[in-house]
Structure 1
């Protein structure tokens, strides 16, 4: 199986500490040697870096650790191939444009029986089940909301509905972002940690590296890091429930609840902060 890494922050932030541990799993502490990639959602657009080499041996990954990129939303992936050859076009994250915005997506799991009808607007460039699932999600959103993006709550419900359909075909852990917020879905295992005041010190599980976040953050900074398995000790990681979809914005998880008097999703929904 592959592994996932994501970040959602209240301000542009660097993910280099977490990425340093995560990249070790791409060939040294883990078996995910079939490529890696990372998408940074910056104000000017989405910057995508992909490589079909193991992250532990990749000059691009090495450069990234020493020249961190700041962004509010980041989606990263290390691959252990199940479908599709080891090639750049099969490395996650995948990106596509919907409603004039670039979306990024990375998946952990296997969906060998998922063969949806092709959509002319979102055609996979590679051979992976993961990219097929991504195209299916975006095509479904476009059909539901053809003119403009819906509210976050309506989009959440739509993604939740489609994710449940896809998950019938296998394991569907994924991270999806449009640069404004980040969605994460758990089929088997996924974890997250909130880094906020008063902050803590943490040590990476996969290499000998420690950090005191109090020395690197302001009082109003808030960051969520999502990973397949916890990357650190010394801070509290929360486990997703199987089948759970979470939305993160501003460095915090948001809970979707029906609005007053709502029935069957026909009335407005509201998003509440959830810590």
Structure 2
């Protein structure tokens, strides 16, 4: 299955992925994924880097692993294709502009028949690819556009309700773990995923919260987080599977978290 990761803090950190290793967290068959991508926010925009090929075969991955981006908000995705060909247009995370901000979405799961169950209402914005994940992203974007038309896009409560309603609809269709952000708020929805080995249902996301300290560092197989030592701040990390021996919390099914600058500001669901 696909792998998700997110990092949020008030202070920018250097988050580097060794995608060859990171892909292996998904199980013995995930080391050769069908694409990878990461979004590094800088203000209201983001560097969105994607490639529709295995990390093992990529000449760009070694360059990315040595990058010097410092970002307060990062989302990453490793793809194992279930719908749509292995092409750039089907590679996550997806990014689109809305309300003058870069919105980013990444999904882990399978949503059969989403096109029929949740048809898109407007012709102005259509998916470019063939995945259920991108279609789901546009369903959410159109929900947010409805809020804007009603003058409620700036209302935090209404935004949370819109994302919560969207998550509830996805859960009726299939596995619906996702990360979504507008560069300010990070939404993380935990549903369920297939385990490796065993093929049983297990928690879809895990949470690690760190309080402010003199230094934020994390080294794991496939991941290195290096904070700025002179500006300590709380940090939140989310991942499909725990990445370190620390006490990651397995999120119950149907949990929606809302994170802002490394702090958990809302928790809905189970």
* Length-normalised TM-score, structure 1: 0.82
1:51 aligns with 2:51: yes
Q: CA deviation at 1:25?
A: 4.3
1:252 aligns with 2:267: no
Of 102, 117, 120, 2:119 maps to 117
1:190 aligns with 2:205: yes
Contact 1:73–1:181 (CA under 8 A) maintained in structure 2: no
SS of the aligned residue for 1:232 comes to coil
Of 180, 184, 197, 1:180 maps to 184
Distance 1:38 1:201 in 2: 19
Q: What is the CA deviation profile of residues 38-72 of structure 1, one whole-angstrom value per residue up to 9, with x for unaligned ones?
A: 11111262211110111243232221211131111
From the superposition, tell whether residues 250 and 202 of structure 1 become closer, same or farther in structure 2 (CA, over 3 Å).
closer
Q: CA deviation at 1:23?
A: 4.6
The corresponding residue for 1:243 is 254
Q: CA deviation at 1:165?
A: 0.8
Distance 1:10 1:136 in 2: 29
The corresponding residue for 1:149 is 153
**Taking CA–CA contacts closer than 8 Å with sequence separation of 6 or more, which of the two structures ends up with the larger relative contact order?**
2
Of 109, 125, 131, 1:128 maps to 131
Distance 1:239 1:87 in 2: 32
SS of the aligned residue for 2:114 comes to coil
Contact 1:112–1:169 (CA under 8 A) maintained in structure 2: yes
From the superposition, tell whether residues 20 and 8 of structure 1 become closer, same or farther in structure 2 (CA, over 3 Å).
farther
Contact 1:176–1:184 (CA under 8 A) maintained in structure 2: yes
Q: CA deviation at 1:152?
A: 2.3
The corresponding residue for 2:41 is 41
Of 216, 229, 248, 1:217 maps to 229
Of 125, 139, 162, 2:142 maps to 139
- Please, which runs of 5 or more residues in structure 2 have no aligned partner? 193-203
From the superposition, tell whether residues 148 and 14 of structure 1 become closer, same or farther in structure 2 (CA, over 3 Å).
farther
Distance 2:94 2:251 in 1: 23
* Length-normalised TM-score, structure 2: 0.83
Distance 2:62 2:152 in 1: 39
Residue correspondences, number:
252
From the superposition, tell whether residues 191 and 217 of structure 1 become closer, same or farther in structure 2 (CA, over 3 Å).
farther
- Report matched runs for 1:221-232 at 5 Å: 221-232=233-244
